[in-house]
A and B are shown apart, each in its own frame.
Chain A
Amino acid sequence: MKIVGSTFLAPFVESATGRLVSASVIVAPQQEYRGTVNGIKAFCRSAAPDSPSVVAMSRRMRGEEFEECRQRGVGEIIEIQIGYSALVLAAPRGDPDYGLKLLDLYRAMARDIPHDDEFLANRFMRWRDIDQDLPDLPIRVVMPAPGLGSRGFFEDRFLQGACRLIPEIRTIFTAESRVNQCVALRSDGRIVEVGYPFEASARQALTDAPAGTVAILPSNIAQKMSDIVKTLPLDGAQASQATVATREYPYVRPLFVYVKRRHVKDYKGVGPVAGLRELITELTRERAIGPDGYMISEGLVALDDSRRESMRHHALTLTPMER
């Protein structure tokens, strides 16, 4: 069994496979976590038995990705949503307490700022230049590098979310031009991109980070780094298990695992990859993803009861997804 995908999901999937391996239910799978984008490319490349059987993604598979998969013969895919996670803003522990609005964050990071019907190069140097209520500290943002699922989610939800509030960008008709304008970030050294392995790289970037640094981190990683950073409220909301589950904190992403149905052995034991059915069962069990499951203690936010039940039914009956 070969598993690829998001580095963010790696600990969750590894804890499930680890339990199955230690109970001698499956043999240790080959796991290679190089990000969501690389993962889905490898997953969709072919339906051959030696191709990845499982991809862990920190967002839902997109329509065009599903179409590409189908064109390459990977038509029947089982979609398993294991829960939610949130991206949060974090600042060095010694920084003053403050909160940011989504538009403040956008203005701090964007390459161009609309002004009098034109897009001008971003000249905001200090947080106070954006809003008088923000601290008089230099702008510096630590964020996930392109290719990581968290980066994709940040662009989709934070940057494009902010652009929906900016008329000059919102009224650009073509999606491609609008998105290109929206996600273009400043390149004057105020943005630090950290790549794989994300957690270690982020810790390194944030250790002794200058005051005014804001990091964009998955909530569980921010929790692990609470010795050096504290979370900042965004639009007045702080991320927690409760606020994420109720969507009071809206910057939440669904976490998915996709499995090639044709790799799964049937009940007669016929099929190319052993252990997949057992992995699907483990990933959908209450002891893993339920409110008291072991993945919850690792930072996952549980789906609500009815959704978990419906997802479990689809997964265990190997119902192929539709998009």
Chain B
Amino acid sequence: MMTTTRVALVALLIGLGTLQPVAAQQAPLREPTDLINDRPKTIGRLWAATQDAFSWTAGIVGSALDYVMPPSPSSLVAAAREDDSSDMLKLLGLAGYKLKEVDNEVGLIPGLAFKFAIVRELSEADIDYLDEQLDLFRLRSPGLLGQLQRSIVSTVLAINSGGGMQVSELKLRLLPLPKAEFSVTPSATLLGEEASALMRAIQRVDRRVRDIAPTSVRTSTDGAPRR
């Protein structure tokens, strides 16, 4: 874009530089507006060049602001939605947690936090599997961020498998400063069963609502619907 702008400006200057003497020689009595009317292409170029220059400047300023300003909460929420399959969410999913709430604060200092709630207790096999996945994650993401994410999941796991207590809610705050908050409650509560029943009931309703929409049914060779 910058090259185009420069070429257009140079062409304009050359055009203008050669224009006036020629115009003066050929039609010394013409009105100044004739200059515009007789040269529509040159004026078009001037207009395009001005537009290019403005958009180039705006782009540069925008990029510079992106570098110095923190990301907006809405962009982070959108990014988190897009990145549903990210390692952190996957690990938290394996640890029995699901995204429950997004706290979004708009202001001079924006705030953003994700709340995860426990949706299932882990079996021994789940813990072994999560241990192994954390190990593989360590090999794949050895950096500081990976280490931080692993330590959050490991802390949750350690509390939950310690006996007696569980992290009922995990709050990951990204803005204004990164922070992880663990709400620890006694694990022997009736809430677990209720939450489980509620979750299944919600999913059942959700499936029924989706079933209302017309869908094609695949059939097997004997004509019976396939399961």
Contacts and interface: CB of A to CB of B under 8 A. Distances in A.
A161 interface: yes
B86 interface: no
A269 interface: no
8 nearest A-B residue pairs (beta carbon): A173-B196, A156-B125, A175-B121, A175-B123, A160-B125, A179-B123, A173-B192, A62-B124
Contacts of B200: 117, 168, 171-172
A60 B128 contact: yes
A117 B203 CA distance: 9
Interface string A158-178: 001100100110111111101
A247 B203 CA distance: 34
Interface in B153-209: 161, 192-193, 195-196, 199-200, 203-204, 207
A64 interface: yes
A189 interface: no
B124 A173 contact: no
A188 B204 CA distance: 30
A160 B121 contact: no
18 contacts: A60-B128, A62-B128, A63-B127, A155-B125, A156-B128, A156-B129, A160-B125, A160-B126, A164-B94, A171-B196, A171-B200, A173-B120, A175-B121, A175-B122, A175-B123, A175-B126, A176-B123, A179-B125
B129 A113 contact: no
Contacts of B192: 173-174
Contacts of B121: 173-175, 178
Interface residues of B, number: 26
A132 B226 CA distance: 10
Contacts of A174: 121, 192-193, 196
Contacts of A167: 203
A175 B120 CA distance: 7
B216 interface: no
Contact of A161 (B129, B204, B221): B129
Contact of B120 (A156, A161, A170): A170
Given A157-B129, A173-B195, A174-B192, A247 B120 contact: no
A164 B123 CA distance: 11
A176 B207 CA distance: 26
Q: Which of B125, B129, B227 has the most CB of A within 10 A?
A: B125
B46 interface: no
